[in-house]
Amino acid sequence: MKIDLHCHTKAIKKGDGKGRNVTPELFKEKIQDADIKIVAITNHNAFDIEQYRILSETVNGICLVWPGVEIDVLEPESKRWHLIVVVNPKESDKFSDSVKKLFKNCNFEDSMHTLDEIYEAFKDHDAIYIAHFHQKNPAVPEGDGEKLDRLIGEPFRVFKETANENTMGVFANYRYNVLVGSDVKDWTKYEQCSFSELKLPVDSFEQFCLLAKRDENVVQTLLNRKDSKKLIAHPASNVSLDIQLYADMNIIFGQKGTGKTEIIKTLCESMKSCGLKCVSYIATEREDSFKTLLGLKGVAIDLEKMHADDCEEVFQTITEWVDSNPEHYGNYLKWKKTEGNNANKTRMKITHASALTREATENEDLHKEDKKSIDVIYRDFDGINLEEYLNEDDSRQLRELIGRLKTSIYDHRRNDLIDEQAVHLVNFSINKIKAIADRSTNSVSKPSSTGLTSFVESRLALLKAVKKILKNLSVDEVNETEKIGSLDEKGDILINTKYRMLCEESKTDEFKMGIRKLKEVKLKLEYIDGHAFESDLSDSMSQLNELIDELGIKDIKPFVGCSKQIVNETGDLYTPSNGEKGMLLLQRAIMEDADAYFLDEPELGMGNSYIDTSIRPMLINLSKRHKYVTVATHNANIAVRTLPYMSIYRTHCNGEYFTYTGNPFSDKLVNIDDEKDVLNWAEESLKSLEGSRDAFYERKDIYESNNT
């Protein structure tokens, strides 16, 4: 939840500027736009109780409003600085009196107070104190800060305000109670100001103070508002750890060689067994993972997308095809020799008949295809509840029309079949009668055909089948792209999955069964297409069918080559470096819609700036969406600045391994095997992630200068 504990609502001093004056309407609008849940009114040297009440009422139910004041502090022989005092809203009236008393007979423009005077004024209040700090000017001098701590006596009531939220993030949780406020100068741009974010949402001033005090019960109560799961992790095969993960950020950190990767992997498996969808990223396995990403395992070939027919029927035609031979000339000789042997047979003109030949009826092929189509249409159509979309009349009319279309197509197809079958039946009858007559008369009838017709028909059927396959083998390639992630200055990076029929440019690894024999099959088909009426066609067909049989080809799918390439936004091939592969895989994992995310050393091979500006915000967004995000890391930006609900610290000493769990809110890490063994979360984080406390202090100025 966003809070603003340094907010001006009135221009008091000359330097304040009119932009600090705010109407109740604008106040409400801007508080809502910025999604602020707690705001403290901290005008310079004054507290307007009437305005406080009006503004509180205006945003009632939207945002808590706490009373406060910003005071100029000047200690003897020191520099001027600013201190904000915010009190429990239940004490607003009393606070108003205290402020009036402190500033009695004072000039708002240049009044200064010592820390003793301020402490005296508010010592009986439930208050917190916020000193301008570091590059937030005018900042508290070190000695004055120490005096403030001594006077207040309760460290959790003293905060430091930094110049911006990035700096705040660095100081936060290293025993600095740090925040940033809007210090708004122009209310029309209020939502553009910097704000603090409370990881654990609080409901009251008291709860805020207890959280600052790291009160164990309050921290646990606030943590428990999020879903959690108790899972089992195995850092080694013979070791089991009970780990509670929250539907938020969970961090595993600690020394190298303590089984963090195994913990991540086994937690992922444990989560999966709970039925949750999990994704994982293991940095050390990124090369293999990238290869897998570009692999073809699980890629399904969808011929519809390619507008291609599977050609199953025509492949069957090819494998079952047998050549038709001419009638033997000798059978004509036998007929002629025995022609006059039997007078009765001579009178049977049918024994002289030739086979009927049949011309295909007009559009016969079309009728055949349309019959197939209407069967599919009718089946799908039957599954649609028309009344859901059409009125009764339209539904009835549509049903009637589709029904009539089906009937008409069926009629045409039936007539074609009758015609075709009639010719078959006639020829069958002629041959049967001839055979019976020949048997009874010891003679041979005239052959029904020279064999030319069936020779042509059988080859035409084969040719049609081959042409259909070749036509489908020439359909255009289809490309499907899927974004993996983005790279700075290179834009979106995508996987292009290319589906194309076997062609000149095809490569071996596009095909499950290799390319050489498929090419042979295609060459044979092309040869047959150009030599359908050659007398030696049978030889070519035998070779073709041997190949088809060997490759187990039943349809055209084996000829569809599939490959994946990495391309940029403009479609040009792109070869990512190892580091970029990691970035892309990590982004892909994070962008995937899942319930839980398990990441191992996401920082490996990536710049700290990239981790902090790209990956950390994405992880925080996931945690805000109540996803389980578990990261094993050595990176302070991830481990600390994501404010994990659960920190799992692994360490080893003299061959013995220890596991501690805790969080930054309680600032504790407790040994899961010995609850008396308690470490300080901040100290261990500093040691493990930053190197040491000194290293952290050396870096703080760098953080500050980089982000101002």
Which residues of the shown chain bind other proteins in the complex (CB under 8 A)? 325-326, 328-330, 332-333, 335-337, 354, 357, 359-360, 446-447, 449-453, 455-457, 460, 463-464, 533-535
Q: Which is nearer to other proteins, 360 or 435 (CB)?
A: 360
Minimum Å gap between C-beta 458 and other proteins is 11
| 66 and 5 Cβ atoms separated by less than 8 Å | yes
Residue 252: which of 268, 238, 239 has the closest Cα? 268
- Dihedral sign of CA atoms 274, 278, 283, 288 in order: positive
Minimum Å gap between C-beta 453 and other proteins is 5
Minimum Å gap between C-beta 293 and other proteins is 47
Minimum Å gap between C-beta 548 and other proteins is 23
Cα angle value 385/386/392 (rounded, 5°): 130
- What is the distance, to the nearest Å, from the Cα of residue 186 to the centroid of all Cα atoms in its chain? 40
Q: Which is nearer to other proteins, 451 or 579 (CB)?
A: 451
Q: Which is nearer to other proteins, 330 or 617 (CB)?
A: 330
Minimum Å gap between C-beta 481 and other proteins is 41
Q: Which is nearer to other proteins, 164 or 448 (CB)?
A: 448
Minimum Å gap between C-beta 553 and other proteins is 24
Distance between CA atoms of 589 and 607, rounded to whole angstroms? 18
Q: Which is nearer to other proteins, 66 or 455 (CB)?
A: 455
Residue 165: which of 629, 641, 634 has the closest Cα? 641
Q: Which is nearer to other proteins, 352 or 699 (CB)?
A: 352
Both structure tokens of 439: 């048997």
Instruction: Tell me the CA distances in angstroms from 189 to 6, 28, 52, 185, 193, one per residue in order.
Output: 15, 13, 21, 8, 7
Cα angle value 205/211/212 (rounded, 5°): 90
Q: Which is nearer to other proteins, 455 or 696 (CB)?
A: 455
Q: Which is nearer to other proteins, 316 or 538 (CB)?
A: 538
- For 106-173, the DSSP string reads --TTT--B-HHHHHHHHTTS-EEEEEE-TTSSSPPPHHHHHHHHHHH--GGGEEEE-SSHHHHHHHBT
- For 225-266, the DSSP string reads TS-EEEEEE-SSTT--EEEEEESSEEEEEE-TTSSHHHHHHH
Judged by DSSP in three states, 59 sits in coil
User: Which residues on adjacent β-strands are paired with residue 132?
Assistant: 161
Minimum Å gap between C-beta 574 and other proteins is 47
**Gap between the terminal Cα atoms of the chain:** 24
- Does residue 576 have a cis peptide bond before it, meaning omega lies within 30 degrees of 0? no
Judged by DSSP in three states, 222 sits in helix
Minimum Å gap between C-beta 278 and other proteins is 59
Residue 703: which of 172, 195, 249 has the closest Cα? 172
Minimum Å gap between C-beta 526 and other proteins is 15
Distance between CA atoms of 560 and 21, rounded to whole angstroms? 70
Q: Which is nearer to other proteins, 272 or 446 (CB)?
A: 446
Minimum Å gap between C-beta 448 and other proteins is 9
Both structure tokens of 132: 């301008």
Q: Which is nearer to other proteins, 153 or 330 (CB)?
A: 330
The radius of gyration of the chain from alpha carbons, rounded to an integer in Å, stands at: 43
In this structure, which amino acid lies at residue 2? K
Q: Which is nearer to other proteins, 242 or 534 (CB)?
A: 534
